């Protein structure tokens, strides 16, 4: 089983893209990346097929957030950014990075398909509990009061906390279904021992007490193993030729 190196665990960081868009960066570019649900990709380049569901290159790029990352890199380390875009080694690195993101996207889509098969749904109580958890995390991690958050949201044209909650739930709906799938189905199908969780904890050198993160680690490991099982059962085809052709992003133009 592959264990990705993560210092912050999935169950607790679903909201980070929302924070970065609405609160931390105040970036118009970031907001523009949030395509409305159901919106067709601009370039319908199919790079994979999962049990009949097509995966588009644009989806991979959105998951990788490569344009935003490279714009930040050009500002902080332009020489390295130039290396990535102009050297064969840099191009190979970028292709490998996007290939990894494709693999992550395939895992995400398999979980979404499974959530649909298991008829997983989100109650209002579940949505409200999730939102309150994330709101408290924002306050704690960013040192912001609710008034500070409302002021930051107002600068982005978001007029109320209810509107923010609706946007958050809409943007994170699929991931929330996956989270609930793991909580209700995955943890019953996949048994993770405390010893496995402790091994992961020690390997990652997590700088908090084990008991504080034990449940999150077990959730993470259960998800990893659940995805591995789903991949074994699924019919997955990757269009390697198409991916190699379109898998290297163009150098972003700085404003």
- pLDDT, mean of each 10-residue run, the chain (255 residues): 36 39 37 40 78 90 78 84 85 86 92 92 91 88 88 89 91 86 81 91 90 88 91 93 66 51
| All residues at 6 or more sequence positions from 156 whose CB lies less than 8 Å from its CB, including other chains | 22, 26, 31
In terms of DSSP bridges, do strands 236-238 and 53-56 run parallel, antiparallel, or are they unpaired?
A: unpaired
Residue from 238, 199, 236 nearest 221 by CA: 199
The per-residue pLDDT for 249 is 54
Q: Residue 250: what are its φ and ψ, rounded to 5°?
A: -75, 155
| All residues at 6 or more sequence positions from 37 whose CB lies less than 8 Å from its CB, including other chains | 170, 173
Is the distance from CB of 159 to CB of 92 less than 8 angstroms? no
Is the distance from CB of 114 to CB of 239 less than 8 angstroms? no
Residue from 109, 104, 103 nearest 175 by CA: 109
Residue from 62, 190, 55, 58 nearest 113 by CA: 55
pTM for the full model?
0.71
Taking only the tens place, the pLDDT of each residue in 234-253 is 999 998 887 776 655 555 55
The per-residue pLDDT for 248 is 56
Is the distance from CB of 134 to CB of 15 less than 8 angstroms? yes
The per-residue pLDDT for 33 is 40
Question: Rounded to an integer, what distance in angstroms lies between the CA atom of residue 18 and that of residue 138?
Answer: 10
Question: Cα 138 to the chain's mean position, in Å?
Answer: 17
Top-level CATH class of 10-235?
A: mainly alpha
Note the residue count of the chain: 255
Question: Rounded to an integer, what distance in angstroms lies between the CA atom of residue 146 and that of residue 139?
Answer: 7
The per-residue pLDDT for 188 is 73
The per-residue pLDDT for 20 is 42
* Long-range Cβ contacts of 73-77 (<8 Å, 24+ apart): 74/252, 74/254, 75/254
H helices within 21-77, ranges in order? 28-32, 57-64, 66-76
The per-residue pLDDT for 26 is 35
| Helix or strand run (H / E) with residue 24 | none
- Exposure of 170 in the CB half-sphere (CA atoms within 13 A): 11
The per-residue pLDDT for 247 is 56
Instruction: Identify any residues that bridge with 238 across adjacent strands, giving them in sequence order.
Output: 48
């Amino acid at each position: 089983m592959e264990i990705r190196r993560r210092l912050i665990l999935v169950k607790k960081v679903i909201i980070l893209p929302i924070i970065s868009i609405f609160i931390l960066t105040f970036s118009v570019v970031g907001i523009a990346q949030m395509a409305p649900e159901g919106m067709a990709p601009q370039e319908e380049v199919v790079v994979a097929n999962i049990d009949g569901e097509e995966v588009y290159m644009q989806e991979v790029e959105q998951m990788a957030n490569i344009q935003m990352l490279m714009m930040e890199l050009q500002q902080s380390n332009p020489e390295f950014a130039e290396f990535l875009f102009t050297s064969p080694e840099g191009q190979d690195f970028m292709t490998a990075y996007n290939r990894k993101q494709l693999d992550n996207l395939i895992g995400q889509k398999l979980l979404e398909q499974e959530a649909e098969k298991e008829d997983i749904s989100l109650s209002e109580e579940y949505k409200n509990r999730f939102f309150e958890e994330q709101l408290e995390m924002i306050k704690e991690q960013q040192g912001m009061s609710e008034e500070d958050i409302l002021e930051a949201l107002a600068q982005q044209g978001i007029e109320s906390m209810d509107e923010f909650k609706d946007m958050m739930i809409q943007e994170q709906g699929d991931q929330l279904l996956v989270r609930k799938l793991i909580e209700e189905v995955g943890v019953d199908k996949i048994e993770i021992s405390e010893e496995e969780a402790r091994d992961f904890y020690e390997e990652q050198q997590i700088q908090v007490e084990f008991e504080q993160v034990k449940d999150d680690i077990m959730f993470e490991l259960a998800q990893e193993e659940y995805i591995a099982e789903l991949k074994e059962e699924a019919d997955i085809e990757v269009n390697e030729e198409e991916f190699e052709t379109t898998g290297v992003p163009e150098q972003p133009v700085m404003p």
